[in-house]
A = this chain, B = another copy of it.
Amino acid sequence: MDDRIREHARTLVDWSARIEEGDDVVVDVGPDAHELAVAVAEELGERGANVVTTYSSSEVTRAYLLGHDGDFDADPEFKRALYANADAVLSLGGGRNTTETADVPGETRQAYNRANEGVREARMETKWVSTDHPTRSLAQQAGMSYEAYRDFVYDAVLRDWEALAQKQAKVKDVLDDASEVRIVSGADTDLTMRVDGRLAVNSAASVDYDSHNLPSGEVFTAPYATEGEVVFDVPMTINGRRVRDAHLKFEDGEVVDHAAAQGEDAITEVLETDAGARRLGELGIGMNRGIDRVTDNILFDEKMGDTVHLALGRAYTSNFPEGHEDEANDSAVHVDMIVDMSEDSRIEVDGETIQENGTFWFEE
């Protein structure tokens, strides 16, 4: 086994999920994440954790959804109980075809997501962490060879997380004191959001930092009262469909108009899921310089240095002070989209520029 797989597993179990003896851990395994699952199982055994492995295959999901009439039972107890009784959920992504669910009708997917909202909430109450094992399918989506893609993944995952956390703390401090953030990029993006009363999260790939992705490397908050327009010029895949140059227009915090150069129907579907899907749930500032290229995988792309991402839908309660969690935007979806900030761009906080063309004030 490649030593980096073991190192990935150790980082996931210790730094990210902070697994302790006796923890009840669900390990969700993609079909091609098998090797990482073996390494994670060994680490969990060594720490005296209890393990249930679930199988996450988009081919299986597609077959089930296409077979079903769409009238799904809400939150089946056997599924809810698994997560409600778990201390941690480690998702090891690794499929064989990132577009496998492209022919599942959007309304079927939405109905299934809505029916499983309680299950998802139970899962999010745990120490959950999502990561990806490098697969040939993800290499293909990135337009890279498998060997080069593996190097890319481990460069992004096996970092000095402690050092990055310290750097990100500076940006968190600025956002915590801020009232308004403005994102300006090129001719078409000029968006203003309120962030007062919200807490920024220093997302350093660990549940101890309210961070649930490995890799991470971003600072994010939960904006509201969004006004203006934005073009997401980093291409991405949403529900199995390619989306390019999605354009959203906000008024009074809600999307009032949308378009895209490609994949507009995927955006339409997301927006129609529920009322919360028309509002932003997240503003994130990517700060992982180990991620040096777009690979069309949101887990990595949104963390890339010199980018900003916005998510339609559900907000993370970690962005709200205690007692204010119910102010978090509620939705069955959380769909991230990215703006390249490396050129002709700036981030303003209460009128002061904190990043220009990808360079932060403390990096000048």
Contacts and interface: CB of A to CB of B under 8 A. Distances in A.
Given A42-B66, A45-B67, A52 B22 contact: no
Interface stretch (A81-89, A185-193, A194-202, A224-232): A81-89
A145 interface: no
A-B pairs, 4 with minimum CB distance: A45-B67, A78-B85, A81-B81, A45-B68
A46 B37 CA distance: 31
Contacts of A67: 41-46
A73 interface: yes
A137 interface: no
Interface residues of A, number: 47
A39 to B, nearest CB: 7
Interface in A46-73: 46, 48, 50-57, 59-61, 63-69, 71-73
A55 B37 contact: yes
26 contacts: A31-B31, A31-B34, A37-B55, A37-B57, A38-B60, A41-B64, A42-B66, A43-B67, A45-B66, A46-B67, A50-B73, A50-B79, A51-B64, A52-B54, A52-B76, A53-B54, A53-B55, A53-B56, A54-B54, A76-B85, A77-B85, A78-B81, A78-B82, A78-B86, A79-B82, A81-B81
B24 A41 contact: no
A22 B73 CA distance: 7
B53 A38 contact: no
Interface of A: 22, 24, 26, 29, 31, 34, 37-39, 41-46, 48, 50-57, 59-61, 63-69, 71-73, 76-79, 81-86
> How many copies altogether?
2
B48 A63 contact: no
A59 B37 CA distance: 9
A350 B197 CA distance: 84
B53 A65 contact: no
A63 B41 contact: yes
A37 B78 CA distance: 19
B55 A24 contact: no
A26 B81 CA distance: 13
A24 B50 CA distance: 23
Given A45-B65, A45-B66, A81-B84, 4 more contacts: A38-B59, A43-B67, A45-B63, A78-B86
Contacts of A82: 52, 78-79, 81-82
A149 to B, nearest CB: 22
